[in-house]
Structure 1
Amino acid sequence: MTVLVIAEHDNATLKASTLNTVAAAQKLGSDIHLLVAGHQCSGAAQAAAAVAGVAKVLVADAPHLAHQLAENITPVVVNLAKSYSHVLAPATTSGKNFLPRVAALLDVAQLSDVTAVVSADTFERPIYAGNVIATVQSIDPIKVMTVRTTAFDAVAATGGSAPVEAIDAGSDTGLASFKGQELTKSDRPELTAAKIIVSGGRALGSSEQFHAVLEPLADKLGAAVGASRAAVDAGYAPNDYQVGQTGKIVAPSLYVAVGISGAIQHLAGMKDAKVIVAINKDEEAPIFQVADYGLVGDLFSVVPELIKELDK
């Protein structure tokens, strides 16, 4: 079987999610082809060629693919898909945007948020906010799948030497156009790739206190900053900080939950963390049921004390 993985990239470099998706693909077949669709994307293509386990890199390079709009990348993937047994993309905002279109045009059912590969046609995926794991068997001739990247350890970004082949990039569908983007700039690690995350909840009380309490701790730990949906909805933190079922799915080595009660929607996004530390004054808070270490106390005194200890 030959598997097609759609690379996520910024035209210059690969996103870390691509390496996790290749790891999932390795459980399906020995021949893995990586599609890099973009514009002036030779940097990303060369990075893709170096990924361990990739047999071939396909490059679709054209101006209308510069921002990988779903309306333009979908025809490229559909044209390629008929030669593959499986088509995989990361279950990120990008993958969730275009892959359902691919599945619809191929007249197959999409397998979403796959967390384990049982066999070539059988997969596991979470339902009910991760409280139940469904085992799904597909009889479709082409399996179209988004992969939960936190469920698979990333393959090595170096060590491969796959050939790079240019393919037809198609034409602009004219259905959508790129108008602009606002990027959040930060010296901290990107949330979904961070090894350590410090997250805050509604108990922090205000945007000022959210940043004043959490950022010094995050700086000491070299951590990314996250937030619960309640904190984001209250305006304490921007949307791209949100961790949870309707936010970002993370699985860091260490997750510090500060003032987060632990609603099931939040737990669905972070319970795969290797070590979870919870700080909350409510000893009955659900977060303590999944925490490896729990500290019952007032976060406004506990966190500064913790920072002092880290200074020693």
Structure 2
Amino acid sequence: MTTLLLAAHDGVALKDATLKALTAALAIGDDIHVLVAGNGVAGAAAEAARLKGVSRVLTAEAAALEHGLAEPLADLIVALAPSYSAVLAPSTSTFKNALPRAAALLDVMQISDITAVLAPDTFERPTYAGNALLTVRSADPIKLITVRTASFRATPAEERAPASIETIAVPADPGLSTFVGDVFSATDRPELTSARVVVSGGRALGSEEQFQALLLPLADKLGAAVGASRAAVDAGYAPNDWQVGQTGKAVSPELYLAVGISGAIQHLAGMKDAKVIVAINKDAEAPIFQVADYGLVGDLFELVPELTKALG
């Protein structure tokens, strides 16, 4: 049973999400092909060739694939999919755009955001903001699957002879969408979805100024990424790409520090896979304390500066 894994990468190197999705792919079968699609992907392809279980790396290079547009990527997946029993990808925005389109074109079911592989045709995935788990069994000849990477450990590269790297033909660009430009927020902090430590703030911080004044020094001391609840983002305290939750990003750090976050279901869905959860909230009855490993009940405007000072 051969599985095709779609690689998330920046051209030069694979992203951590790819290594986590590989763990899910290996649970389905031990013969993995990796597709590295883009424009100028030699570095990422060379890294993929040394991953555990990978017997073949396919590189697809074209200007239309450079920015991850859904239509040309979906057409490429459709062209390759008949040779595989399963096509997996990490649940990044790129693949959440492309895979449902490919599934529709192939007339098969899309299996989204799996958290466990129970059998080669059976998977677990969350529903109702993570309050219930579905067991999904697919009889489709080709299974198109996105992987909730927060639920899987990364499979590292091995000291081994590299797998073969082959360049494949790319279907013609359907021309249904056009890349206009990128706007990035520059930061020296770790990427939110792969950080070992995440410090998140909620609406209780009161303003954008207080959010930054309290949380950023603490995050700097811990070498942490910064996150936020949806309420804090909606209030303008933090940018959208910091949002953690069902409609934001799912994280699974070693330490998650929730400051002034009540613990709404929507937020818990994005961070409950953290190994250790620490909550700071003045409301002792806040739902966040039900999932927290450690809790501090008190005024965050006093406790956070004290914690930051104690860290030296």
TM-score (norm 1): 0.98
Q: CA deviation at 1:53?
A: 2.1
Q: CA deviation at 1:44?
A: 1.4
Alignment-derived partner of residue 224 in structure 2: 223
The reply to whether residue 207 of structure 1 matches residue 208 of structure 2 is: yes
Alignment-derived partner of residue 295 in structure 1: 296
Alignment-derived partner of residue 265 in structure 2: 264
Alignment-derived partner of residue 120 in structure 1: 120
TM-score (norm 2): 0.98
Alignment-derived partner of residue 50 in structure 2: 50
In 2, distance between residues paired with 1:159 and 1:150?
A: 26
In 2, distance between residues paired with 1:68 and 1:60?
A: 12
The reply to whether residue 308 of structure 1 matches residue 309 of structure 2 is: yes
Q: CA deviation at 1:80?
A: 0.4
Alignment-derived partner of residue 92 in structure 2: 92
Alignment-derived partner of residue 251 in structure 2: 250
Unaligned runs of 5+ in 1: none
Where 2:144 maps in the other structure, the secondary structure is strand
In 2, distance between residues paired with 1:306 and 1:12?
A: 38
Deviates more, 1:74-83 or 1:39-48: 39-48
Unaligned runs of 5+ in 2: none
1:104-135 CA-partner distances (Å, limit 9, x unpaired): 11100111111111111111000111111111
In 1, distance between residues paired with 2:159 and 2:134?
A: 35
- Please show how residues 71-86 of structure 1 align to structure 2 within 5 Å: 71-86=71-86
In 2, distance between residues paired with 1:299 and 1:157?
A: 42
In 1, distance between residues paired with 2:71 and 2:208?
A: 37
The residue type paired with residue 14 of structure 1 is L
1:78-113 CA-partner distances (Å, limit 9, x unpaired): 110000000001112111110001111110011111
In 1, distance between residues paired with 2:171 and 2:43?
A: 21
Q: CA deviation at 1:50?
A: 2.1
Deviates more, 1:67-76 or 1:224-233: 67-76
The residue type paired with residue 286 of structure 1 is P
Q: CA deviation at 1:12?
A: 1.6
The residue type paired with residue 236 of structure 1 is Y
Say whether the 8 Å CA contact 1:191–1:225 is kept in structure 2: yes
The residue type paired with residue 309 of structure 2 is K
In 1, distance between residues paired with 2:227 and 2:147?
A: 22
Say whether the 8 Å CA contact 1:11–1:66 is kept in structure 2: no
Alignment-derived partner of residue 139 in structure 2: 139
Q: CA deviation at 1:42?
A: 1.0
Q: What's the RMSD between the two structures over aligned residues?
A: 0.8
Q: CA deviation at 1:62?
A: 1.1
The reply to whether residue 27 of structure 1 matches residue 27 of structure 2 is: yes
Q: Percent identity?
A: 65
Say whether the 8 Å CA contact 1:201–1:227 is kept in structure 2: yes
Say whether the 8 Å CA contact 1:32–1:56 is kept in structure 2: yes
Where 1:71 maps in the other structure, the secondary structure is helix
1:28-54 CA-partner distances (Å, limit 9, x unpaired): 111100000101111111121122221
Give every structure 1 segment of 4 or more consecutive aligned residues whose post-TM-superposition deviation is greater than 6 Å.
Answer: none
In 1, distance between residues paired with 2:179 and 2:10?
A: 15
Alignment-derived partner of residue 282 in structure 2: 281
In 2, distance between residues paired with 1:285 and 1:4?
A: 44
Q: CA deviation at 1:201?
A: 0.2
The residue type paired with residue 177 of structure 1 is T
The residue type paired with residue 239 of structure 1 is N
Alignment-derived partner of residue 171 in structure 1: 172
Q: CA deviation at 1:158?
A: 4.2
The residue type paired with residue 2 of structure 1 is T
